[in-house]
Amino acid sequence: MQNLGELQEIFNRREARILSPSAALSRDGRRRKTEDRIVAGYRQAYSLDVDRILHSLAYTRYIDKTQVFYLVENDHITHRVLHVQLVSKISRTIGRFLGLNEDLIEAIALGHDIGHVPFGHEGENFLSKLCRDHGIGHFRHNVQSVQFLDKVERKGRGWNLCLQTLDGILCHDGEIHNQRIAPARGKTFENLDRETDQKKADPDTVLTPMTLEGCVVRFSDTIGYIGRDIEDAIRLGLIRRSDLPRNSVSLLGDTNGSIVYALVTDIIKTSADNDTIAFSDEISHALNALKAFNYDRIYLNPVIKKHSNTLKTLFDLLFNRYLEDLEKGDERSGIYTRFFSDMSDEYKNTHSNEEVVRDFIAGMTDTYFLNQCPPELRPMPFKLPFASAPRR
């Protein structure tokens, strides 16, 4: 039997032979720090990234992170952990039919939302305002995902992931509607750091992945949530299936399964043998109309924002409390005992107090966040007006 190093080279040669000429090959994965070959053993570069992300503490905390609906009494509502698994499956399916690197796709997909704060995009907006007010730029979960994996995990040493993985995570943005994306190849770690700073300075900065695999995950992020959010909203009584826009339904169907299948199939057909990932014109228009429906009827629905003002108050309270504790050097504070005290000297020397507070709060699960707040201020889960009890 060959030694482990030989096996890795065999896998790399096979990958180069069977994948598309446009695919990102594992042998080209680049890390900030050189590692001894024995660290990877027989594992290829992006497969190793997948393992590191799966074993990160931040990945573990996905289990109690809001996707869209928070503090709602229903066991069948999508949480962040399920969303990233759906994105991984969808994007790997697309990648397989296009001859792309499924290991890189999986790494990007599983890591893309690790930077999400408690209570989803609403929590992100609250934390972003606090970060701006304290002079450390806008907060965006894609930037924070790179921050966690590159600079916070492993007590501040990070996981030393490949550039291609970190770039795909940084450049994912399921909120933006694109009909097609061509990769911006040839990036370096200097590009990654510059684009990170640009995104913190201006969240509207448009970033493009450096690989087709990153482009696939970006499209799959939307595919993973668009129909699933509709099913959750129907389950909670916010909308009815008959409310969906007719033109979109005629092309995509009116269930999550039909929507995912139609979008995935269209991407495969439209993107095959091209150096872009794209939707056809009619499917792109149908998807854009469906996204507009979701924003109007689901994401901006005041019914699901019952606790919005309370949560904003709690974000303000925790941020300012932890900042004061750091400034006073109060080592009894949770930010010391649970986060800062055993971080590496490199992390401590390169992060301001405000950035430490940002990282601590961003990493919290919904439950942990609430447990740090005064009991009398904690909001209680509620049932939406027409939501049925969960069936098992």
Three-state DSSP at 31 gives strand
Question: Which phi and psi angles does 365 have, rounded to 5°?
Answer: -80, 170
Architecture label for domain 47-305: Orthogonal Bundle (1.10)
Question: Which phi and psi angles does 280 have, rounded to 5°?
Answer: -70, 165
Neighbours of 316 (CB within 10 A): 14
Three-state DSSP at 162 gives strand
Q: Which long-range contacts (CB under 8 A, 24 or more apart) does 336-341 make?
A: 339/363
Predicted local distance difference test score (pLDDT) of residue 2:
55
Distance linking the first and last C-alpha atoms of the chain: 49
The alpha carbon of 29 is separated from its chain's Cα centroid by a whole number of angstroms, namely 21
For residue 31, list its beta bridge partners: 162
Sign of the Cα torsion 49, 85, 226, 139 reads negative
Neighbours of 285 (CB within 10 A): 16
Is the distance from CB of 227 to CB of 203 less than 8 angstroms?
no
The C-alpha torsion from 119 through 122 and 126 to 127, rounded to 10°, is 60
User: Angle 321-316-238 (CA atoms, 0-180°, nearest 5)?
Assistant: 140
For the chain, the C-alpha Rg in angstroms (whole number) is: 21
Tens of pLDDT along the chain (392 residues)? 456 668 888 999 999 999 999 999 999 999 999 887 656 678 999 999 999 999 999 999 999 999 998 888 888 889 999 999 999 999 999 999 999 999 999 999 999 999 999 999 999 999 999 999 999 999 999 999 999 999 999 999 999 999 999 999 999 986 778 899 999 999 999 999 999 999 999 999 999 999 999 999 999 999 999 999 999 999 999 999 999 999 999 999 999 999 999 999 999 999 999 999 999 999 999 999 999 999 999 999 998 888 999 999 999 999 999 999 999 999 999 999 999 999 999 999 999 999 999 999 999 999 999 999 999 999 988 776 554 444 43
Q: Which tokens hold the place of 173?
A: 């943005």
Calpha distance 305→312 (Å, rounded): 11
Q: Which residues contact 85 (CB under 8 A, 6 or more apart)?
A: 110
Quote the pTM value.
Answer: 0.95
Calpha distance 108→131 (Å, rounded): 26
Predicted local distance difference test score (pLDDT) of residue 177:
85
Predicted local distance difference test score (pLDDT) of residue 391:
40
Predicted local distance difference test score (pLDDT) of residue 41:
75
Three-state DSSP at 158 gives coil
Q: Which of 101, 89, 90 is nearest to 18 (CA)?
A: 101
Which residue has tokens 């447990």? 371
Predicted local distance difference test score (pLDDT) of residue 390:
42
Question: Which sequence spans correspond to the domains of the chain?
Answer: 47-305
The alpha carbon of 388 is separated from its chain's Cα centroid by a whole number of angstroms, namely 30
Exposed, middle or buried: residue 318 (CB in 10 Å: 0-12, 13-18, 19+)? buried
Predicted local distance difference test score (pLDDT) of residue 384:
67
Predicted local distance difference test score (pLDDT) of residue 388:
47
